Amino acid sequence: MHGIGVFVCHCGSNIAATVDVKKVVEMAKLEPGVVHAEDYQYMCSEAGQEKIAQAIKEKNLSGIVVCSCSPRMHEATFRKCAEKAGLNPYMVEIANLREQCSWIHKDIEEGTEKAVILTRAAIAKVNLNTSLEAGESGVIKRALVIGGGIAGIQTALDIADAGYEVDIVEKTPSIGGKMAQLDKTFPTLDCSACILTPKMVDAAAHEKINLYTYSEVEKVSGFVGDFTVEIRKKARYVNMDKCTGCGVCMEKCPSKKAKSEFNSGLSNRPAIYTPFAQAIPNVPVIDPTQCIKLKTGKCGVCEKFCQAGAIDYKQKDEVITQKYGAIVVATGFEVIKLDNYDEYAYSQSKDVITSLELERIMNAAGPTKGHLERLSDGKPPKNIVFIQCVGSRCAENKGKSYCSKICCMYTAKHAMLIRDKYPDVNVTVFYIDVRTPGKNFDEFYRRAVEEYGVNYVKGQVGKVAPQADGSLLVHGVDLIDGKQLKISADMVVLAAAIEPNPTVRNIATMLTASIDTNNFLTEAHPKLRPVESPTAGVFLSGVCQGPKDIPETVSQAGAAAIKVVGLLAKDKLMTNPCTAKADELLCNGCSACANVCPYGAISYEDKLINDHGIRKTHRVAVVNSALCQGCGACTVACPSGVMDLQGFSNRQIIAEVDAICR
Amino acid sequence: MQELISRLKELLESGSVQRVLGWKKGDFTFNPEPAYFNSAEELSEFVYDGFCGANLSKYMIKASNLEGVTAVLLKPCDTYSFNQLIKEHRVIREKAYIIGIGCKGKLSLDAIKAQGVKGITDIKGAEIDGDCNELKVETLYGEKTVSYKDSMLERCHVCKGKEHMIYDELMLESADTLDADRFTDVEIIENLTSEDKFTYFQRELSKCIRCNACRNVCPACSCRKCVFDSTKFDSEQKANVDPFHESMFHIIRAFHVAGRCTDCGECSRVCPQGIPLHLFNRKFIKDINEYYGVFQAGEDIGQTSPLTDYTLDDMEAEERR
Amino acid sequence: MSLTNEEFRPKIVAFCCNWCSYAGADLAGSSRLSYPADVKIIRVPCSCRVNPMFILRAFEKGADGVIICGCHPGDCHYSTGNYYARRRMTLLFSMLDYVGIERGRTRVEWVSAAEGVKFSQTMNEFVETVRSLGKNVRLGDLRCKN
Amino acid sequence: MEASKKSRSEMVKEISGTNPLKCMKCGKCSASCPSYEKMDIKPHQFVSYVINEDVESLAKCDSLWVCLSCFACVERCPRDVKPGKIVDAARQIVIREKGGSYLVPDEIPELIDEDMPQQLLVSAFRKFRR
Amino acid sequence: MKYSYYPGCTLRTKAKKLDAYARASAKVLGFEMEEIENWQCCGGVYPLSGDEIASKLSSVRALNEAKVKGQELVTLCSACYHVVKRVNDDMRNVEDIRLRANNYMKLDEPYLGETEVLHFLEVLRDRIGFDEVKKKVVKPLTGRKIGAYYGCLLLRPSEILGFDNPENPTVMENLIRALGAEPVIYPYRNECCGGYISLKDKELSKNMCDTVMNSAESFEAEMLITACPLCQYNLTKNAQSDVPVIYFTELLAEALGVKEEVDANGSF
Q: Are A641 and A650 in contact (CB under 8 A)?
A: yes
CA-based torsion, B75, B81, B86, B91: positive or negative: negative
> For residue A310, is it within any domain?
no
More confident residue, D122 or B240: D122
Interface test with A, best of C42, C135, C136, C139 (most A CBs within 10 A): C42
Tell me the nearest-neighbour CA distance from A340 into chain C, angstroms: 25
Confidence tier at D4 by pLDDT (50, 70, 90):
low
Question: From CA D126, how far away is CA E79, in angstroms rounded?
Answer: 13
What is the rounded average pLDDT of the residues A512-540? 85
Would A469 be classed as within a structural domain? yes
Backbone Cα Rg of chain C:
15
Residue B142 lies in a domain: no
Query: Mean per-residue pLDDT for A14-25?
Result: 96
Q: Which CATH number fits domain E138-256: 3.40.50.11810, 1.10.10.10, 3.40.50.720, 1.10.150.120?
A: 3.40.50.11810
Could you tell me if residue B155 is inside a domain? Answer: no
Looking at the structure of chain A, the number of domains it has is 5
Structure confidence at residue E185 (pLDDT): 96
A83 Cβ under 8 Å from any chain B Cβ:
no
Residues lower than pLDDT 50 in chain B: 238-244
**Binding partners of E (≥3 Cβ pairs within 8 A):** A, D
Structural domain boundaries enclosing A293: 248-305
Q: Please list the helix, strand and coil fractions of chain A in percent, rounded to the nearest 5, in that order.
A: 30, 25, 45
Confidence class for position A49, pLDDT limits 50, 70, 90: very high
Q: What confidence score (pLDDT) does residue D5 get?
A: 52
- Element of type H or E holding A643: strand A643-645
Which residue from A343, A397, A468 is facing E167, i.e. has the nearest CB? A343
Q: Is 1.10.3470 the CATH number for C3-133? A: no
pLDDT at A608 exceeding the cut of 60: yes
Instruction: Tell me, yes or no, whether B169 and B274 share the same domain.
Output: no
Write out pLDDT tens, residues A538-550. Answer: 999 999 999 999 9
Contact assignment for E192 to D68 by CB distance below 8 Å: yes
ipTM value: 0.68
Is there a single domain that holds both residue B170 and residue B245? no
Task: Tell me the chain B residues in contact with residue C134 when contact means C-beta distances shorter than 8 Å.
Answer: none
Taking CB atoms and an 8 Å cutoff, what residues of chain A touch D36? 477, 484
pLDDT of residue D104: 74
CATH of domain D2-97: 1.10.1060.10
Residue A553 lies in a domain: yes
The pLDDT score that the predictor gives to residue B224 is 86
From chain A, the residues in CB contact with E218 under 8 A are 467-469
B165 plus B202 within the same structural domain: no
Q: What is the band of A351 on the pLDDT scale with cuts at 50, 70, 90?
A: very high
Distance from CA of D56 to the nearest CA of A (A): 21
Rounded-to-10 torsion of CA B186, B188, B194, B199: -90
Asked if E191 and E168 count as a contact pair (C-beta separation under 8 A), the reply is: no
* Eight-class DSSP state of A106: -
Name the minimum distance, in Å, from the CA of D20 to any CA of chain E.
Answer: 16
Residue numbers of chain E with a pLDDT score lower than 50: none
Where is the domain boundary, A474, A499, A524?
A499
Task: Give residue limits of the domains in chain D.
Answer: 2-97, 102-130
Chains within contact range of chain A (3+ C-beta pairs < 8 Å): B, C, D, E
- How do residues B87-124 score in pLDDT, each as one tens digit? 999 999 999 999 999 999 999 999 999 998 988 999 99
8 A C-beta contact, residue A466 and residue A492 = no
Give contacts of D33 with chain A, Cβ < 8 Å. 462, 484
Residue E9: its chain D contacts at CB < 8 A? 118-119, 122
Q: Are residues A364 and A465 in the same domain?
A: yes
Q: Which of A103, A114, A660, A662 to mutate to test the interface with C (most CBs of C within 10 A)?
A: A660
Nearest CA in chain B to A655: B234
Q: What is the average per-residue pLDDT within A7-13?
A: 95
* B with D: touching (≥3 Cβ pairs within 8 Å): no
Query: Chain A interface residues facing chain D, Cβ-Cβ under 8 Å?
Result: 343, 389, 393-395, 397-399, 432, 458-463, 475-477, 479, 482, 484-485
Residue A600 placed within a domain? yes
What mean pLDDT value characterizes chain A? 94
Residues from chain D contacting residue E55 (CB–CB below 8 Å): 126
A240 touches chain B (CB under 8 A): no
Rounded to a whole number, what is the distance in Å from the CA of C146 to chain A's nearest CA? 24
Work out the number of other CB atoms within 10 angstroms of the CB of residue A333: 23
For B276, the domain range is 181-321
- pLDDT (0 to 100) of residue A555: 97
Q: Is B145 among the domain residues?
A: no
Say whether both B226 and B87 belong to one domain: no
A358 and A474, same domain (yes or no): yes
Residues A58-81 have a mean pLDDT of 94
Q: Find out whether the peptide bond into E157 is cis, omega within 30 degrees of 0.
A: yes
CATH match of E2-120 with 1.10.3470.10: no
Whether A573 and A139 have beta carbons less than 8 Å apart is answered as yes
A471 and A586 co-located in one domain: no
What is the percent of chain A with per-residue pLDDT over 90, rounded to a whole number?
Answer: 88
Smallest Cβ distance to D27: which of A394, A399, A479? A479
pLDDT in tens, B4-56: 999 999 999 999 999 999 999 998 889 999 999 999 999 999 999 999 999 99
Cα separation, B221 vs E160, whole angstroms: 55
pLDDT band at C142 (very low <50, low <70, confident <90, very high): very low
Considering only the beta carbons, identify the residue of C90, C101, C140 that sits closest to B315.
Answer: C90
**B242 close to A (CB below 8 A):** no
Q: Name which of B95, B308, B312 to mutate to probe chain A: the one with the most chain A Cβ atoms within 10 A of its Cβ.
A: B308
Please tell me if residue D30 touches chain E, with a CB cutoff of 8 Å. no
Q: How many CA atoms lie within 13 A of B77 on its CB side?
A: 25
pLDDT, residue B44, reads 92
What gap in Å lies between CA A1 and CA A61, rounded to an integer? 8
Instruction: Summarize pLDDT for A89-111 with one digit per residue, the tens.
Output: 999 999 999 999 999 999 999 99
Same domain (yes/no): B207, B291 = yes
* Confidence at residue B244, expressed as pLDDT on a 0 to 100 scale: 46
Q: Which residues does chain C have within 8 Å of residue B311's beta carbon, measured at their own beta carbons?
A: 83
The answer, for E22 touching chain D at a CB cutoff of 8 Å, is no
Measured between CA atoms, how close is A481 to chain C, in angstroms? 37
Q: Which of D102, D103, D117 sits opposite E230 (nearest CB)?
A: D117
Residue C20 has what pLDDT? 87
β-bridge mates for residue B171, sequence order: B101
Q: Which among C88, C90, C146 has the least Cβ separation from residue B206? A: C146
Give the minimum alpha-carbon distance from B198 to chain C in angstroms, rounded to a whole number: 4
- Angle of helix A355-362 relative to helix A407-421, nearest 10 degrees, comes to 30
